[in-house]
Structure 1
C-alpha cells in the first residue's frame, strides 16, 4: 500500500477491528464442518488477522499467536522506519557511500523495490522516504498543511532510485548520495504476510488466510472447504462498504488507496500516495487498486505503483505486464470498477 507509513507505525490503526469483522462476517453463517483457529491483533500501526483451517495436531490459538507475533516483531526489527534501531533505520543513518552490508531479507525487499522502480520508470521509488516524512506520513510529526515548494524541492533532491546500487553476493547496497533515505513501507505488509505464510508451511499448515491490513496471503480453502472470500472495499471516507468479493486460494492480494491515510486543507485532500516525480500526493479520480498474484511483496508494491501511475497509465502497464488488477474509479458520485484481462480471467467465471 504503499508509500504508506502505516506499515511501520507503532500505534494500531483505529479501523483494524472493523476490517477483521468483514472477514468474520464472510466466514460466518452455517455451522462450520471443520475446525478453525483465528487470531488477530495490532501490528505495524495497523492490524493482522490469521485464520488456520484444519490446524495440525497440537496447534492452539496461543501457539499460533506466539509464532506469528514473533515473526512480526522480526519484520519490524528489519524494516521499520519508526524503530531507530531497525536494520533499515541503521542503513538510513549510515552516511557512507561505500558498500554497506545488508541481510538477505532486506536485500530481497530492496531488490524488489528497484525492480518495480525500473518497471515504472521511477514512478515507484523506495528512496521516497524524505518526501513521505516531509508530508507527515512517516515517523516524523504529522501535519495538516502542505509543505512549501522549497521544502519539496529540497526533499526531492534526496530522492532517486538510480542513486542506489545493489550487490547480490554478499548482499550489500551502495548510496551515490550519503543522505539517501529508504522507505520499504509499500512492501512491508506484503512481506510480513509472506514471512508468516512461510512459517505456517513449516508448521504443517496447508489451509490459511493471513491479512496485514490490505495485504493478504492465502493457501488451500476455508473451514467450509471453499476458497477464501476476500472483500474489496469501496474507496469511501464517509462509510465502509464492500464493493466486491472475490474467491481466493493459493494467492496473494493487496489493495492500495487514497481514502484512509490523508489530511485535508482548504477543501483539498492530500493522501499518503506520493508521486516522486512531482514531490506531491497524487490527485486523481482513482480511488483504489487491488492486485492479485503469487508473492505478497510483489502485489503490495505493484498496488502502490499502479495507484501512483493512475487509472490510465497504471491500467496500461498492468495490461502490458499481464497483472491481475482491479481499479476503482470515482465518476462524480458513482464508483466504476475496471478489471484487467488477467483479473477477469481469474474471477469473472468464478463469481457467476
Structure 2
C-alpha cells in the first residue's frame, strides 16, 4: 500500500554539543518545516554548554570555579537547577555523586590536558568536603566554602537531553525521542501508539552492540560505564569515573550501570553515583530509593552477568511506561 499524504513524516535532527552530538526524532504532518525546530534545539543545548562547560574558560561554571572561596557568585537559572539536583543526589548517595572532583578529573587526564603525576598526588591527598558548595536558590547565587573545582560531566549531558525534550514540547511536538551521546529521553508514543525503543549497550570497548532493548514512554535512561573513556596506568585500564574518597579512578567498578528515571539529569547523576557505590551497596540504595537500575558486571569468561533492581528490569516487567526485551 502506498504511503498516504496524511501520514506523519519522520524527522531526524542532529547537531554538535559538548564534544559530541545531540539527536532528535519526531513525526509531524506533511509540509512541516523542521528548520526552526533544529535552530531552537541547537540554541537549547548551546545554552547548557555555555553555562556548564569545563572546556570553555568563560562558562558560568568556570567563572564560579575561579571565584575566591567564600565569595558569592550569580548563577544563571539552568546552572542553578543542575547544582541543586547534583547537591541533592550527592546527599542522597552519601557523597557517591560529587560535583567537586574537577581537580581529580583534570589531574588524571580526562580534561583538556594530559595526566600530570604531580596534580594526581595533590588530588589524591586533598581532603574532600561534601558541603563545599553553598547554594542560595532564592538569590540565584552560589559560593564555594572550600577550595574545590566543580565538574558537571556526570549530569550536564542528561540535563541537556531534558532541555531538548522540553524545547520540543514547548514547540507543540508532543512525542519525540531525544538524546546526547547515548543518554536518551522518550516523550509520548510513536505515531502507531508503540513506545520508543532504546538499546542498552553492551559494555564492550571493541564494538558497539546492544545488550538489551528498552521500550520507553515519558521516561529517560542514562548509562555510566568503564568501557568508553579510560586511561592506562602501568598496564591497567582505569575508568573515567572518579572515586570521591580517593580522588582517583574507581579500581573495580561495575562494567556499566543503567538507570531509568523521569528526567535524564536524574538518570545521569544516579548512574554515576551507583557506579561509584558498586553493585552491592548500589543495589541496596537503589531499592531504598525505588530506582530502576541494571548493573552489568564482567565475569572470568569475558562475559557479563547482571543485577536488576526495580520492576522495569525484572524478568516480566508490568505494563506501563516502559519494558525490557532481552
TM-score in same-fold range (> 0.5): yes
1:117-159 Cα shifts (integer Å, max 9, x gaps): 11121121101111111111123x133x8667633335x34x4
**Matching of residue 81 in structure 1 with residue 54 in structure 2:** yes
CA contact (8 A) 2:203 2:256 kept: yes
User: For the structure 1 residues 271 and 337, does the alpha-carbon distance in structure 2 shift closer, same or farther, using more than 3 Å as the test?
Assistant: same
- Structure 2 Cα separation of the partners of residues 189 and 91 of structure 1: 19
- Structure 2 Cα separation of the partners of residues 207 and 150 of structure 1: 49
Q: Give the match for residue 126 of structure 1.
A: 99
User: For the structure 1 residues 347 and 206, does the alpha-carbon distance in structure 2 shift closer, same or farther, using more than 3 Å as the test?
Assistant: farther
1:309-335 Cα shifts (integer Å, max 9, x gaps): 111111111111110111111112221
Q: Give the match for residue 40 of structure 2.
A: 67
- Structure 2 Cα separation of the partners of residues 266 and 335 of structure 1: 25
Q: Give the match for residue 11 of structure 1.
A: none
- Structure 2 Cα separation of the partners of residues 81 and 253 of structure 1: 24
CA contact (8 A) 1:35 1:223 kept: no
- Normalising to structure 2: TM-score of the pair? 0.90
CA contact (8 A) 1:36 1:223 kept: no
- Structure 2 Cα separation of the partners of residues 146 and 262 of structure 1: 16
- Structure 2 Cα separation of the partners of residues 147 and 182 of structure 1: 20
Q: Give the match for residue 27 of structure 1.
A: none
After the TM superposition, which residues 103-252 of structure 1 pair with which residues of structure 2 at under 5 Å, given as runs? 103-139=76-112, 141-143=113-115, 150-154=121-125, 156-157=126-127, 159-177=128-146, 179-252=147-220
SS of 1:165 mapped into structure 2: strand
SS of 2:54 mapped into structure 1: coil
Q: Give the match for residue 344 of structure 1.
A: 313
Q: Give the match for residue 257 of structure 1.
A: 225
- Structure 2 Cα separation of the partners of residues 147 and 236 of structure 1: 32
1:55-95 Cα shifts (integer Å, max 9, x gaps): 26764332222111111111111101111111111111111
Ranked by relative contact order (alpha carbons within 8 Å, sequence separation 6 or more), the top structure is: 1
Q: Which has the larger displacement, 286-295 or 222-231? A: 222-231
Alignment RMSD (CA, Å): 2.3
Instruction: Give the C-alpha shift of residue 183 in structure 1.
Output: 0.8
SS of 1:232 mapped into structure 2: strand
Q: Give the match for residue 13 of structure 2.
A: 39
CA contact (8 A) 1:78 1:88 kept: yes
SS of 1:52 mapped into structure 2: strand
Q: Give the match for residue 25 of structure 2.
A: 51
Where do 5+ consecutive residues of structure 1 fail to align? 1-30
Structure (1/2) with the larger helix percentage:
1
Where do 5+ consecutive residues of structure 2 fail to align? none
CA contact (8 A) 2:226 2:253 kept: no
Instruction: Give the C-alpha shift of residue 221 in structure 1.
Output: 1.7
- Normalising to structure 1: TM-score of the pair? 0.84
